[in-house]
Amino acid sequence: MTDWSTFFAMGGYAAYVWPAYAISVVSLLALAIASWTWMTRAERLASSSKSAEETAPETKP
Amino acid sequence: MPVLAYANPERFARLARSLTPWLLGSAVGLLLAGLFLGLFLAPPDYQQGDAARIMYVHVPAAWMAMFVYGCMALASAVAFIWKHPLADVAAKASAPIGCIFTALALITGMLWGKPMWGAWWVWDARLTSVLILFFMYLGYIVLWNAIEDPARAVRAARILALVGAINIPIIKFSVDWWNTLHQGASVFRADGPSITGSMLIPLLVMAVAYNVLYAALLLIRMRAEIAERRLRSIRLGLEFEPK
């Protein structure tokens, strides 16, 4: 079992190691969430307006 | 089914829909494994101690910064030559992902540079060329949003992506061509990796994780882009319908 305080101290480099890991995880997670939200919203809008178009009376020349 | 069949955006979107959960799941699994290996199992460096663990988030991010740009330039070339309908979508969807990876490479590099070099930043050829890469990504993203006419925006974006590709070999070989404070290559070397196995394995797991994550995010963002284009054309079609 690791001694946790030693682990978190990172041999004196905690102030550099942890921010590096934190910013990597947080920004990639934020990008993933933003991309997912954008995608679900765009696909929902596209499919709903597509079905609206399909149910609309045929007006195209 | 021939690969070219996926040139159809709708068919591509269907394939992407079935692949997305698998890619996202594998990316998360690989990332957790890579973080565990890098933080717990990898030994501290004999010179740098635990600060060397920054390598496991810094180096894969820097590789991805270049790889994603390479993909963007390749997709732009394909778009130019074969007018492939998905190539521009792929290039546009890649840019924000590459931009984040480049920012991560720069920031984690600063966090590594401060304790090791005594400076957050130095204007050596490696750091400067990666900073230029970051601005290339930003410029590419801004360009798409700045030009109203989609046909002109797509052309300008392709040209920018291709011209900026010159920077990629400059980044790669900057540590050989110039006398940089940044160290030289220790994995992709002509004589094989000079890094020990217990550090190489976590590094490679993280690199694979970042690649799979890129694939997952690329598909998600391409799906979004395809849906938005469909939405735009539906709306345009409705506008031009005779009343």
Q: Give the gap in angstroms from C-alpha B175 to the nearest C-alpha of chain A.
A: 23
With respect to residue B111, please indicate whether it lies within any of the assigned structural domains: yes
With respect to residue B241, please indicate whether it lies within any of the assigned structural domains: no
| A24 interaction partners in chain B (CB closer than 8 Å) | 57, 61, 104, 108
Q: For residue A58, what pLDDT is reported?
A: 52
Q: Mean pLDDT throughout B118-139?
A: 96
Tell whether the model's pLDDT for residue A53 goes beyond 80: no
- pLDDT tens digits, one per residue of B83-113: 888 999 999 999 999 999 999 999 999 999 9
| Residue B140 burial class via C-beta count within 10 angstroms: exposed 0-12, middle 13-18, buried 19 and up | buried
The residue of chain A with its CA nearest to that of B58 is A20
Report yes or no: A23 and B104 within 8 Å, Cβ to Cβ. yes
By C-alpha distance, which of B236, B216, B232, B230 is closest to B93? B216
Report yes or no: B89 and B222 within 8 Å, Cβ to Cβ. yes
Query: Hey, of A1, A2, A3, A24, which one would you mutate to test binding to chain B, going by the most B CBs within 10 A of its CB?
Result: A24
CA pair distance B72, B22, nearest whole angstrom: 23
What residue type is assigned to position B59 of the chain?
Answer: V
Q: Where are the domains of chain A?
A: 4-52
Return mean pLDDT, chain B. Answer: 92
Query: What's the total number of domains in chain B?
Result: 1
The interface predicted TM-score (ipTM) is 0.90
Tell whether the model's pLDDT for residue B133 goes beyond 80: yes
**Which candidate from A2, A16, A23 shows the least CB-CB separation from B115?**
A16
The residue of chain B with its CA nearest to that of A60 is B241
Q: Give the gap in angstroms from C-alpha B212 to the nearest C-alpha of chain A.
A: 12
Domain that holds residue B38: 11-43+50-185+195-234
Q: For residue A1, what pLDDT is reported?
A: 47
**Which candidate from A39, A60, A61 shows the least CB-CB separation from B223?**
A39
Residue A28, chain B, CB below 8 Å: the answer is yes
With respect to residue B190, please indicate whether it lies within any of the assigned structural domains: no
Q: Give the gap in angstroms from C-alpha B52 to the nearest C-alpha of chain A.
A: 8
CA pair distance B144, B173, nearest whole angstrom: 30
| A27 interaction partners in chain B (CB closer than 8 Å) | 100, 103-104
Q: For residue B13, what pLDDT is reported?
A: 84
Query: Hey, of A1, A35, A48, which one would you mutate to test binding to chain B, going by the most B CBs within 10 A of its CB?
Result: A35
Tell whether the model's pLDDT for residue B190 goes beyond 70: yes
Tell whether the model's pLDDT for residue B243 goes beyond 50: no
CA pair distance A20, B173, nearest whole angstrom: 25
CA pair distance A28, B212, nearest whole angstrom: 13
| DSSP notation for B171-213 | HHHHHHHS--SS---SSS-TT---S-HHHHHHHHHHHHHHHHH
With respect to residue B4, please indicate whether it lies within any of the assigned structural domains: no
Residue B114, chain A, CB below 8 Å: the answer is yes
- pLDDT tens digits, one per residue of A32-52: 999 999 999 999 998 888 666
With respect to residue B127, please indicate whether it lies within any of the assigned structural domains: yes
| DSSP notation for B110-127 | HHHHHHHHS-S----HHH
| Residue B227 burial class via C-beta count within 10 angstroms: exposed 0-12, middle 13-18, buried 19 and up | buried
- The answer to whether B221 contacts A53, with C-beta atoms less than 8 Å apart, is no
Please state, for a pLDDT cut of 70, what percent of chain A lies above it.
77
Q: Mean pLDDT throughout B210-225?
A: 97
- The answer to whether A61 contacts B104, with C-beta atoms less than 8 Å apart, is no
